[in-house]
Amino acid sequence: MIPNITRGANFAGLVDYLVDNRDHELLDLDGVSSIDAAAGEMAAIASLSARVRSPLMHLSLSAAHEDGQLSRDEWMLAVDKVGRELCLAGHPRVVVRHRDKQHDHVHVFWCTVDPDTGKTPPKRWFLRKGARTTGFGAHPIPEDRVRDVPERERARRTYDFRALMRVQALCRRLEDELGLRRLMTPQEAARHRALRGPAPVRAPAERRQQRIGSVALLDRADDIRAALDQPNWPAKRRVLAGLGLDLEPVFRDTKAGPELRGLVIVDVWDRGNRIRASDLDRADRRYGLRQIEARHGPGVERLMDWWPKRAAEVPARPDVKDAALRAQYRQMLAEHRVDALHRAAERKALRARQKLELDRARNALNRERKARAQALPVHERRAFYSRFKLERAEALGAIISRHRSEARPLARVAKPSWDAFLATVRPDLARPKPRPVAAPVRRRAPVSQAQERPRAIQPPVPSVAVARVRSQPVRAAPVADQHVERVRSMRAEVDPEAARKARAEQEAEAARKAQAEAQAKARAEAEAQAKLLQLQMAWAHRNQRGR
């Protein structure tokens, strides 16, 4: 479960984002009468506080693909726990599930201003950066434990301090409780990276092959070399076209004009799948641009001279050589261009009309505001301005929503691709683009009450024992220790010398840490003794002056 938190103040766009043109399901309303009135009611509550700049908090919670569709009760359990963690329980909120993506996810909007107090949640105590006290992490310190933490190691912060880190830790506990796919915490991920070592570097062609299924051009190097060995550039291009490939020269801008610098082979199916011709070099034969032209016979045109005179269109793929299909596709492109020009002209005229209407509406509202304010006593005008601000936003929001609906039929339409055209008229020749396949849904059984693991947050030690606790090494969880020892033993079996060096480095690092802690402790004791001596001297001087 992955959370994301954003802040804002645009209540008018809340309904548009939640329900307009989206497949959605309303899961919960709290503190508002309806989804349509939520924006106005939340904005009215937010106006109670003049200091809050971003009274709207937006939380999105996304489940993994393999978790499938979560039930309403599961989502509401997660939302309620997040609300309590962020001190927003009881605040107005809207919870909506969207179905516009492959994974299940919900959106939660809170008004951070309390309708009863007109304020945001109060500040709470958090550990300072670098504090030696452990057991709280990014979470706030409970009120009954505040006195156990030294004052120099804690500070009061706002309710949303480290909000994302706190919600991420909460999501890890929810995954165990609901039996969802378990992600690693930042600490677990750091340990995993340390044990795994640096990740292997993959070539861009390999990543593209794994992502969309394109075959790396280096795997077809022999066929490409045979095409580049043809006697002239038109023959090379014809043979490459039979392989579904094309030539693409590389130019560099200079003061004298474009300068030809190299040659690239591209896949006509996937223009991002490309390779430099020089990458095809062998020990006995090189395929850079200069080496290819040096092997040409006398009278053969150079690429610089032949390229501007080549055929303007990309060569047809080997499986589609029907001239009638090509002509039909060009006709479709021409009709699309004409339609795009008409749409652009209509959009431009519509924008001009809408801008004029919106400016007139703003001016009329400003005149109405001035006239109504002049009719009121001076002491009532400030409250009137706050009320009229909401009325103005609602009126302009209605006009803007209508303008959007008017412009929607004139939206830009993507140019039809050759593959889409073939899929329409000749499905037998079309090549569908590979799509990622979601993993099958696998749900673990929820953790029972008896098997529920203890929380990661442990009560802190009393301040009187801080010095003793500091001298003790911090140990990880037993399961993590077992995993680390298992990995170390496997590495020792494979490479005993590397394991011995690793143990020596760990022992040296532990010795350095112990020495640093001893030096810090000695410095602290010396400073305390110096302060005590200074106080004693000041007291003696004061007594001497009294005599």
Whether 216 and 302 share a structural domain: yes
The pLDDT, as a whole number, for residue 332 is 84
| CB burial readout 429-442, b (16+ within 10 A) else e | ebeeeeeeeeeeee
- Any domain includes 464: no
- Average pLDDT by stretches of 10, the chain with 547 residues: 89 78 83 86 88 90 86 91 90 89 88 89 84 75 82 84 87 89 80 71 64 77 92 90 87 82 87 87 89 90 83 47 77 83 88 92 92 88 88 91 90 82 75 46 48 43 40 44 54 62 80 87 84 75 64
Rounded distance, CA 14 to CA 24, Å? Answer: 14
Whether 220 and 283 share a structural domain: yes
3-class state of residue 389 by DSSP: helix
DSSP 447-463: PPTTTPPPPS--PPPPG
Q: What is the pTM of this model?
A: 0.41
- State the helix-helix crossing angle for 381-407 and 12-19, rounded to 10 degrees: 30
The pLDDT, as a whole number, for residue 478 is 47
Of the three residues 177, 196, 215, the one that is the final residue of a domain is 196
Asked if 225 and 278 count as a contact pair (C-beta separation under 8 A), the reply is no
Asked if 7 and 58 count as a contact pair (C-beta separation under 8 A), the reply is yes
Of the three residues 409, 429, 449, the one that is the final residue of a domain is 429
Whether 171 and 290 share a structural domain: no
Question: What CATH number is attached to the domain comprising 162?
Answer: 3.30.930
The residue segments making up the domain with residue 396 are 321-429
DSSP 463-478: GGGHHHHHTSPP---H
Whether 332 and 283 share a structural domain: no
Of the three residues 408, 429, 450, the one that is the final residue of a domain is 429
If we measure between CA atoms, which residue out of 117, 172, 128 comes closest to residue 152?
128
Whether 180 and 234 share a structural domain: no
Q: How many CA atoms lie within 13 A of 375 on its CB side?
A: 5
The pLDDT, as a whole number, for residue 435 is 45
Whether 302 and 325 share a structural domain: no
- Any domain includes 40: yes
Number of domains in the chain: 3
Rounded distance, CA 299 to CA 305, Å? Answer: 12
